[in-house]
Amino acid sequence: MFLLKKLISDACVGVRITCVDNYQGEENDIILLSLVRSNKEDKIGFVGIDNRICVALSRAKHGMYIVGNLDSLMRASSTWKQIGAKLEAGGNCGESWS
């Protein structure tokens, strides 16, 4: 988050970068959500807490893009398992390799 804030130029007026904890009670037209928690142990930290999942996924008015390791999230959390199954069933998941 801090690196993104540093890299955002003045040309990105109206773009807000914040962590989920600071976002309760607010909405935006489009949300770009980073849930990057890839590690061999499938430790997802606060991303697995249900109330934070709710806040993270309920703030977009028109669209949301989520970046992260869905397989890891689904292995670590029953809530993410349900969410992931719905996303996959709807054809709303894609893969990217660096």
C-alpha–C-alpha distance, residues 27 and 73, integer Å? 24
Q: Are 44 and 72 in contact (CB under 8 A)?
A: yes
**CB-based burial, 64-86: b 16+ in 10 Å, e otherwise:** bebebbbebbbebbebbeebbee
Does the reported pTM lie above 0.85?
Answer: no
The pLDDT value recorded for residue 33 is 86
86, part of any domain: yes
Q: Are 20 and 52 in contact (CB under 8 A)?
A: yes
16, part of any domain: no
1, part of any domain: no
8, part of any domain: no
5, part of any domain: no
Mean pLDDT value across residues 32-36: 84
35, part of any domain: yes
The residues, ordered by sequence, that sit 6+ positions from 61 with a Cβ below 8 Å of its Cβ are 27, 28, 29, 30
What's the pLDDT tens digit per position in 39-69? 788 888 888 999 889 988 988 899 999 888 8
The pLDDT value recorded for residue 10 is 66
Calculate the average pLDDT of the chain. Answer: 84
The pLDDT value recorded for residue 12 is 76
Range of the domain at 53: 29-91
64, part of any domain: yes
96, part of any domain: no
pLDDT greater at residue 71 or residue 12: 71
User: Total structural domains in the chain?
Assistant: 1
